[in-house]
């Protein structure tokens, strides 16, 4: 007869068996992973967050721990994961949480993951552009993506670290070098631009933002953020003044937060909300839910550029179909040309970084 794993005599042994086997001696108490009563093999996806102790990472970890599609949640950072992991692991939701600290534990954090969300890296301070983060964040993204290629090459990657216009091409080059590149599985997260656009447009229209959907295409920096106000649903018309105000506010939403935070960072809470929304869309699509369309910065043939943000139909394998831009008005066509010029340079910079 099999021993009853739930019998009192076996309970603590079973709990102990959940302890993270990857932990180094001495780290065990600090990084004590969550244990749970769920039987092994509970349905759901394994999700890793890289940069989990940061301003985005912490609330994003909380939101992903609340997602019923997540069965295992790995929290990786180079600092502070013990505390974040212990804290989040006490939430009575089903995902099992494990913490991983420092480069020696990167591979353990990534092995077996279905979805990897990357908000690791420096945020802006007032006066900086996102491109000013390139020198620090390019190397961080390269190292983390090398880990993905080694340990979970089939995982879908949601890349948040700035400058997204360059970090996505960096990730693609890393995966190409490793022989694991599948463009469908690499998605730059631009959801915050859509979230902001929905909010600001709803304010102007005087409606609930949940009822508004604004496609935002191009990229994720300044003029590369191109809201298509002519394609808002429900169909709405705006005066030229409103178009100029909305476009400017959406393009500079990140700077608005950076300035308001006055040196203590950039958007974290709204970004965690946006990343959780996008991560959930990816997981639902991976589970087989049909008809999920989100804007994302991906390998693309929508323009002559190799990467571009536009509406993407998500499926089991990631970005299954890149949807066309649809009809643009004169204002948007002019914006598209400006966006492409800047994007082209950011993409080349990312590609050159890996191949230099
Ligand atoms: N895509 C978007 O829409 C969007 C929105 C907001 C912020 N961002 C970007 O997200 C990034 C993170 O922002 P934040 O506010 O959370 O910053 P933060 O400084 O609060 O957190 C970053 C975390 O990354 C960790 N980190 C640094 N190097 C690492 C490495 N090698 N491996 C793992 N973790 C590492 C840090 O320890 C820190 O905990 C920034 O680059 C920011 O510009 C992107
Ligand atoms: O603006 C930033 O630097 C962070 C992020 O890209 C944002 O749009 O809020």
Rounded to two decimals, the ipTM of the complex is 0.99
- Choose among 222, 197, 231, 190: nearest CA to 329: 231
- What ligand 2 atom has the least distance to the C-alpha of 162? 6
Ligand 2: centre distance to CA 258 (Å): 7
| Cβ-based neighbour number of residue 4 at 10 Å | 10
- What residues flank ligand 1, with Cβ below 6 Å? 50-51, 53-57, 77-79, 119-124, 133, 137, 140, 143-144, 160-162, 164, 189, 192, 220, 265-268, 271
Taking CA 189 as the corner, what is the angle to CA 34 and CA 255, rounded to the nearest 5 degrees?
110
What pLDDT was estimated at residue 7? Answer: 65
- Percent of residues, the chain, with pLDDT higher than 70: 88
Q: Is residue 27's pLDDT more than 70?
A: no
Q: Where are the alpha helices (DSSP H) in 18-80?
A: 57-65
Separation of alpha carbons 83 and 28, rounded Å? 12
The per-residue pLDDT for range 237-255, each reduced to its tens digit, is: 999 999 999 999 999 999 9
Ligand nearest to the CA of 54: 1
- Percent of residues, the chain, with pLDDT higher than 90: 88
Measured over the CA atoms of residue 301, residue 336, residue 224 and residue 286, the dihedral's sign is negative
Give the model's confidence band at 265: pLDDT under 50 very low, under 70 low, under 90 confident, else very high: very high
Residue 22 sits at φ, ψ, to 5 deg, of -85, -10
From 258, 260, 309, the mutation candidate for ligand 2 (largest count of ligand atoms within 8 A of CB) is 258
Separation of alpha carbons 125 and 261, rounded Å? 9
Catalytic sites, residue numbers: 220
Average pLDDT, stretch 116-144?
98
Average pLDDT, stretch 79-100?
98
Give the model's confidence band at 6: pLDDT under 50 very low, under 70 low, under 90 confident, else very high: low
Q: Which has more confidence, 202 or 6?
A: 202
Structure tokens at 276: 């959780």
How buried is 263 (Cβ within 10 angstroms: 0-12 exposed, 13-18 middle, 19+ buried)? exposed
Structure tokens at 17: 């068996």
From 120, 192, 197, 219, the mutation candidate for ligand 2 (largest count of ligand atoms within 8 A of CB) is 192
What pLDDT was estimated at residue 43? Answer: 74
Q: Is residue 192's pLDDT more than 90?
A: yes
Lowest mean pLDDT among 4-13, 39-48, 69-78, 238-247: 4-13
Ligand 1: centre distance to CA 38 (Å): 32
Annotated binding site for substrate: 124, 130, 162, 196
What pLDDT was estimated at residue 20? Answer: 46
Q: Could you please report the per-residue DSSP string of 105-171?
A: GHHHHHTT-SEEEE--SPPP-TT--GGGGHHHHHHHHHHHHHHHHHH-TTSEEEE-SS-HHHHHHHH
Ligand nearest to the CA of 253: 2
Give the model's confidence band at 17: pLDDT under 50 very low, under 70 low, under 90 confident, else very high: very low
Contact yes or no for 193/250 (Cβ under 8 A): yes
Report how far Cα 254 is from the mean position of its chain's Cα atoms.
Answer: 16
Q: Is residue 266's pLDDT more than 90?
A: yes
Contact yes or no for 120/51 (Cβ under 8 A): yes
What pLDDT was estimated at residue 92? Answer: 98
Separation of alpha carbons 164 and 130, rounded Å? 8
What stretch of H or E contains 198?
helix 191-205
Structure tokens at 113: 């993951």
What pLDDT was estimated at residue 4? Answer: 57
Separation of alpha carbons 301 and 299, rounded Å? 7
Distance from the first to the final alpha carbon of the chain: 62
Instruction: Supply the residue whose CA is at minimum distance from atom 9 of ligand 2.
Output: 254
- What ligand 1 atom has the least distance to the C-alpha of 57? 16
Instruction: Supply the residue whose CA is at minimum distance from atom 3 of ligand 2.
Output: 124
Instruction: Give the helix, strand, coil percentages of the chain, each rounded to 5.
Output: 45, 15, 35
Q: Is residue 91's pLDDT more than 80?
A: yes
Instruction: Report the chain's mean pLDDT, rounded to a whole number.
Output: 92
Give the model's confidence band at 13: pLDDT under 50 very low, under 70 low, under 90 confident, else very high: low
Lowest mean pLDDT among 4-18, 162-176, 304-318: 4-18
Q: Is residue 35's pLDDT more than 80?
A: no
Annotated binding site for NAD(+): 51-57, 77, 137, 160-162, 271
How buried is 48 (Cβ within 10 angstroms: 0-12 exposed, 13-18 middle, 19+ buried)? buried
Average pLDDT, stretch 178-200?
98
What pLDDT was estimated at residue 14? Answer: 55
The per-residue pLDDT for range 196-250, each reduced to its tens digit, is: 999 999 999 999 999 999 999 999 999 999 999 999 999 999 999 999 999 999 9
Average pLDDT, stretch 120-126?
98
- Measured from the CB, is residue 162 less than 6 Å from ligand 2? yes
Instruction: Supply the residue whose CA is at minimum distance from atom 31 of ligand 1.
Output: 140
Ligand 1: centre distance to CA 65 (Å): 19
How buried is 349 (Cβ within 10 angstroms: 0-12 exposed, 13-18 middle, 19+ buried)? middle
Give the model's confidence band at 42: pLDDT under 50 very low, under 70 low, under 90 confident, else very high: low
Residue 238 sits at φ, ψ, to 5 deg, of -130, 150
Separation of alpha carbons 163 and 143, rounded Å? 16
């Amino acid at each position: 007869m099999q021993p009853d794993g739930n019998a009192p005599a076996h309970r603590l042994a079973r709990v102990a068996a959940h302890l993270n086997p990857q932990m180094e001696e001495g780290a065990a108490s600090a990084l004590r992973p969550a244990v749970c009563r769920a039987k092994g093999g509970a349905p759901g996806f394994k999700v890793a967050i890289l940069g989990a102790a940061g301003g985005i990472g912490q609330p994003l970890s909380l939101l992903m721990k609340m997602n019923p599609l997540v069965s295992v949640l790995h929290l990786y950072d180079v600092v502070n994961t013990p505390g974040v992991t212990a804290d989040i692991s006490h939430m009575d939701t089903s995902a099992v949480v494990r913490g991983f600290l420092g480069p020696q534990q990167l591979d353990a954090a990534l092995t077996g993951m279905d979805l990897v969300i990357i908000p690791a890296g420096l945020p802006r301070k007032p006066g900086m552009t996102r491109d000013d983060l390139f020198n620090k964040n390019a190397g961080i993204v390269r190292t983390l993506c090398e880990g993905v290629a080694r340990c979970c090459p089939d995982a879908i990657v949601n890349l948040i670290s700035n400058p997204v216009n360059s970090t996505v091409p960096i990730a693609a080059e890393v995966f190409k070098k490793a022989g694991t590149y599948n463009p469908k599985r690499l998605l730059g997260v631009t959801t915050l631009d859509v979230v902001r656009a929905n909010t600001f447009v709803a304010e102007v229209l005087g409606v609930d933002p949940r009822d508004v959907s604004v496609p935002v295409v191009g990229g994720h920096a300044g003029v590369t953020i191109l809201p298509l106000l002519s394609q808002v649903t429900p169909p709405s018309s705006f005066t030229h003044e409103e178009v100029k105000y909305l476009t400017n506010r959406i393009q500079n939403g990140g700077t608005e937060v950076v300035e308001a935070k006055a040196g203590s960072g950039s958007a974290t809470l709204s970004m965690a909300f946006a990343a959780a929304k996008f991560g959930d869309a990816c997981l639902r699509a991976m589970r087989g839910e049909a008809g999920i369309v989100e804007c994302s910065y991906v390998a693309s043939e929508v323009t002559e550029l190799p990467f571009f943000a536009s509406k993407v139909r998500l499926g089991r394998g990631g970005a299954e179909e890149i949807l066309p831009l649809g009809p643009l008005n004169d204002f948007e066509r002019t914006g598209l040309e400006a966006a492409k010029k800047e994007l082209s340079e950011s993409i080349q910079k990312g590609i050159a970084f890996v191949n230099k």
